[in-house]
Amino acid sequence: MASAELAVDNKSDQTPLARERQHAQDEREGRLRFVVVKNDGLDRSLISLIDMKSIYSKQLPKMGKEYIVRLVLDRSHTSLACVFEGEIVGGVTYRRHATQAFAEIAFCAVSATHQVRGYGTRLMNQLKEHCKREGIHFLLTYADNHAIGYFRKQGFQKQVTMKRERWLGYIKDYDGGTLMECAIDTQVDYLNIRFVAEEQRRAIAERMEAGGAQQQEAEYAGYDPAEGGVPAGLQGTSWRESALHCSMQGKPVPLADCLQAVLAEVATHADAWPFQTAVSTSLAPDYYEVIKDPVDLASVRARLTPRAHLHTTTRSSSSSPTCCACAKTAACTTATTTSTTTARSGWRRSSGRRSER
């Protein structure tokens, strides 16, 4: 089970972007290196693995030392060491499942004297770049409660998107741990992602500032959706009016006509008689205490009246309230009768809204 402990260092006052720039410069000058280490029997490799084992043992005291040694020296595991000025200051140990194209992180830690300097983030980004070269598409780890926050900042999430049969049986289950997943995007440069985001932020801020200086004195009238068209001030932009295009029996018809057809189909159904009108409080005195959002076909019919959503209705003591959420009412009615209506009237609805992807 992976764990990560990042202690608070009051001496570190650099921003994350400044730390990333410093790391990039240290790497170019050779002071900071990231080395892949395996148990290949060489003395140099064994010394590096023992150094990382010592860091894991100190930073992850709840993990047994024998267990840490066994995994770090296991030939099926690979370690990525973070070396600063010739000294190993952190590392991450993982096991690659080549046939399944994912890797399981076992340990991830930075020495106490080098924490809160961004080495943990840089180490994880280097691991992602290494995974891209090895054909690894996902990273999985069982994180303890202290490590969940760290892994979430590194792009891990609790929802595993891989198919269960792809990883089940390949990784070990841990009691008290949270399984987290990180998808590796081959199109992302993880070592420069913060720099790219900063450039985009600066470009957007400059464009907003320039546009605001030109239009800060402009005043525009309100926008009425019933009139359509492009709202004042949005001419020349990418804004487009959202629209629903409906068809009935293969012919395009207005949305209001489609909804009226759905309502008529539901109202004439043999089982619709209990829902024609509101429930009377004389028959069920506590009905509206139990049912917080009541709805009936008469209320739906009233809400389908043009511009009826612009008016507010109140509850009377002798009758039921009209549903205040007209959109919700129409959606509920449509959703519950889609299959029946489609079969009997051929009604079909398609959305003309632009995709946000």
Q: Confirm whether 251 is domain-assigned.
A: no
pLDDT tens, N- to C-terminus, the chain (357 residues): 565 544 334 345 678 889 999 999 999 999 999 999 999 999 999 999 999 999 999 999 888 899 999 999 999 999 999 999 999 999 999 999 999 999 999 999 999 989 888 999 999 999 999 999 999 999 999 998 888 999 999 999 999 999 999 999 898 877 778 999 999 999 999 999 889 999 999 999 988 887 766 655 666 677 776 666 777 777 777 777 766 667 788 788 888 888 888 999 999 999 999 889 998 888 888 988 888 889 899 989 988 886 655 554 444 444 444 433 444 444 444 434 443 333 333 333 333 333 333
What DSSP string runs through 257-276? HHHHHHHHHHHTSTT-GGGS
Residue 314: predicted pLDDT: 45
- Is 5 noted as a catalytic residue in this protein? no
Residue 308: predicted pLDDT: 56
Q: How far apart are CA 8 and CA 149, in angstroms?
A: 14
Q: Express the helix, strand and coil content of the chain in percent, nearest 5 each.
A: 40, 15, 45
Q: Confirm whether 179 is domain-assigned.
A: yes
Distance of CA 16 to CAs 117, 138, 152, 192, 194, Å? 9, 25, 16, 12, 9
Residue among 5, 104, 181, 265 flagged as catalytic: 104
Range of the domain at 162: 16-193
Q: How far apart are CA 272 and CA 270, in angstroms?
A: 6
The letter for the amino acid at 117 is R
Q: Which residues contact 188 (CB under 8 A, 6 or more apart)?
A: none
Assessment of whether the complete model's pTM goes beyond 0.95: no
Residue 219: predicted pLDDT: 67
What's the domain count of the chain? Answer: 1
Q: Confirm whether 120 is domain-assigned.
A: yes
Q: Confirm whether 178 is domain-assigned.
A: yes
The answer to whether 17 touches 194, Cβ cutoff 8 Å, is yes
Ramachandran sector of residue 15 (left: φ over 0; alpha: ψ -120 to 50; beta: rest): beta
**CATH number of the domain residue 180 falls in:** 3.40.630.30
